[in-house]
Structure 1
Amino acid sequence: MPSTPSRRAAAVLGAALALTGLGVPSAAAAPPTLDVVNLGDSYSAGIGTGGVRAQPWDERCLQGSGRDHVAALDDHPRVDVVLDAACAGFRSADVAVLAGTPAVAAALAGADAVTLTLGGNDVGWGEFVTRCGTRGDPEACEELQDGAPARIAAAAEAAGRTVAAVDDATCGQVVVLGYPRLFDARRDSALITAERAAELNAWTDELNAALEEAVTAEGAVFADVTDRFRGHGVGARDPWILFEPGGQENLHPTERGYLSGYLPALRGELARTR
């Protein structure tokens, strides 16, 4: 990542500290605004918050229409989300292509922080859930799980390449947010048995670990949200992961999941931005 002048680093830190209420002495000048660019897949795009809308700059880019961690962050008086270009369905390579377009590249060049989720679509979690669910195909599920390590390794490698490209395009800190475990594995649910849920949760942990290793090697920081979502998967008494029969936004965080799971993790990392 290109080096930044110490004056700018101090200014960014001051703005980030304000996010957690630590602030600076009242006699000091007000901290500047923290300029943030948001990229990534559906977990960065707020899918699951109560509706989907196309973005005016590209009707193929779909984002959630409800309130998520990015919208809440943008409401902070010292934060400006200058560009929210996360799109549902994006793989790591799609994020890299978008980051190279003139408008996004210009935003990245002036950003103090870049936030994103990526890697899940490269693995293809939807296929795992379909094949391993209660209405799935046990044999196909076993085949998928046999191939999971290779899929995860490839996804992490692709994420690392994308983060390297983003990092080269910005002087800001790149923050990669991980994925929550989707299921409550303490009991069977209509969607999946507890045994299969535990297996898929374990693969989520493996993906998060691989992503962390890949993106931190490229200068990013990784924010794990697993503990924040613990006890709130599909099948829990208080689920933060959406699942409704026939729902188009299933297996994404609800508004509560974004605001209580992702937002605190993101604020914590931005508070350490230098």
Structure 2
Amino acid sequence: MGLGRSQITDRPFGNRFRIHGRPSVHEGAHGSHPSPGLLLKRARAYHGGRQDCQPLRRQSTGWGMDDDGGAPHARSRTMQTHPSPPPSSARSRFLRAFPSLIAALGLVAGISAVPASAATPSTYFGLGDSVAAGTGGTDYTGPAGCLRTLQAYSTQLNGTNAACFGASTSDVPAQVGTAVNPSLRRVTITVGANDVGAGNVAQVCLGPDAGACQSAIAASTADLQTLPGKLAPMIAAVRAKAPNAVITLTGYPLLFTVAGLPASQRLVAAQINAATAQLNLTIASTALQSGALYADVTWRFLGHGIGSADSWIHRPDEPGLTPGAAFHPTSKGYTYGYVPAVRPFVG
């Protein structure tokens, strides 16, 4: 989705965003084969005007919104019209007469111009902090310190999970790698919470010291003012390493379903939710101003925060909780919250 066709609309409660437009698709360069159009013309002449070989046709209507006002969804479809198999004798003559057509289109009788065993580099990387890493899921993998799990949204969407627990904006560019990676077509980033001390706010404010809680919130609010100056150069650095990629930043879920909490905790929980909403607004506005996209996850978690009957956020007092998982999404949170919100941006 190009910025020229993007809009951001702020809605009450949860800071939902409406984003229109569609990212451009970078097509590969033509090879040295004869023009597919010329080959098709020859093939039709060979078969007396038969129209067995049809080119691929794409119908695209752009990106839209779910009817309930949620994250954008893809309304484009790639429609493929495959050739009808000719009779066996004609098919044999066709294969002998037009090997270059087979190589150019790779569509006849299941023959591919690329060997099936050829390795395909990942075209989608998931970068960022512990939420991007999938911390709080059930199946941990990769470097122990990064707390990555198979429930990470990038992994579920067939991408490469390069995120790491504790990462801030300054750590993200290195997650792409040391060299330019032109094969990347999609990059998602969840980051910013560690830059503003969000985890510390949640921990301190659930303690008995109300003064310490207010001090933590004030410090986080001050850090939020400097976040755009960190996000923008981070996006530029990632773009320099992945020049062909569409970059999408995500937000964070509100941690609490306030109405389900004890009365003594509701005020602080509401303050933390409000701070998270401001964090999301800052990430969204900076992303769009920097030529990136924004995927809103907030509304998908509504009714599933701590305090609800079906929380998609780990409570800090859960028995047997994995270290680092408190205040992170559960496996259900990643699967039903993040994955559907991010999918339209990487599909």
| 1:71, distance to aligned residue in structure 2 (A) | 2.3
Alignment deviations for residues 5-55 of structure 1 (CA, whole Å, 9 cap, x no partner): 8635999998x99x968532230689xx98211111111111111254443
The answer as to whether partners of 1:49 and 1:67 remain within 8 angstroms in 2 is yes
After superposition, where does 1:171-250 map in structure 2 within 5 Å? Answer: 171-189=244-262, 193-245=265-317, 247=321, 248=323, 249-250=325-326
The answer as to whether partners of 1:160 and 1:211 remain within 8 angstroms in 2 is no
CA distance in 1, matches of 2:139, 2:334: 14
The answer as to whether partners of 2:59 and 2:76 remain within 8 angstroms in 1 is no
| 1:110, distance to aligned residue in structure 2 (A) | 1.2
| 1:60, distance to aligned residue in structure 2 (A) | 3.8
CA distance in 2, matches of 1:5, 1:122: 32
Within the candidate set 26, 29, 38, 2:126 is matched to: 38
Corresponding residue of 2:156: 72
From the CA coordinates, give the structure whose radius of gyration is larger.
2
Structure 2: tracts of 5 or more residues without a match: 3-22, 30-55, 64-72, 83-104, 108-119
CA distance in 2, matches of 1:165, 1:61: 22
CA distance in 2, matches of 1:11, 1:175: 27
Corresponding residue of 1:87: 164
CA distance in 1, matches of 2:204, 2:234: 29
Within the candidate set 210, 215, 237, 1:165 is matched to: 237
AA aligned opposite 1:111: L
AA aligned opposite 1:92: T
Corresponding residue of 2:43: none
| 1:177, distance to aligned residue in structure 2 (A) | 1.0
Corresponding residue of 1:62: 147
| Residue 116 of structure 1 pairs with residue 207 of structure 2 | no
| 1:220, distance to aligned residue in structure 2 (A) | 0.8
Corresponding residue of 2:27: 7
Corresponding residue of 1:131: 204
CA distance in 1, matches of 2:258, 2:227: 25
CA distance in 2, matches of 1:148, 1:266: 27
| Residue 253 of structure 1 pairs with residue 329 of structure 2 | yes
CA distance in 2, matches of 1:12, 1:120: 40
CA distance in 2, matches of 1:84, 1:151: 27
CA distance in 1, matches of 2:138, 2:191: 22
CA distance in 2, matches of 1:6, 1:73: 20
The answer as to whether partners of 2:197 and 2:220 remain within 8 angstroms in 1 is no
The answer as to whether partners of 1:123 and 1:151 remain within 8 angstroms in 2 is yes
AA aligned opposite 1:185: V
Using CA pairs below 8 Å that are at least 6 residues apart, which structure has the higher relative contact order?
A: 1
The answer as to whether partners of 1:38 and 1:85 remain within 8 angstroms in 2 is yes
Which 4+ residue blocks in structure 1 deviate beyond 6 angstroms? 9-14
Task: Give aligned-pair identity as a percent.
Answer: 30
Corresponding residue of 1:77: none
| Residue 265 of structure 1 pairs with residue 319 of structure 2 | no
| 1:260, distance to aligned residue in structure 2 (A) | 0.8
CA distance in 2, matches of 1:261, 1:39: 17
The answer as to whether partners of 1:184 and 1:194 remain within 8 angstroms in 2 is no
| SS of equivalent residue, structure 1 residue 37 | strand
Number of residue-to-residue matches in the alignment: 249
CA distance in 2, matches of 1:234, 1:12: 44
Q: Normalising by the residue count of structure 1, what TM-score does the alignment of the two structures yield?
A: 0.79
Alignment deviations for residues 58-98 of structure 1 (CA, whole Å, 9 cap, x no partner): x543312x423222211xxxxxx2x3211111111011233
User: Which structure carries more helix by proportion?
Assistant: 1
| 1:226, distance to aligned residue in structure 2 (A) | 0.6
| SS of equivalent residue, structure 2 residue 148 | strand
Corresponding residue of 1:78: none
Structure 1: tracts of 5 or more residues without a match: 75-80
Q: Normalising by the residue count of structure 2, what TM-score does the alignment of the two structures yield?
A: 0.64
| Residue 49 of structure 1 pairs with residue 137 of structure 2 | yes
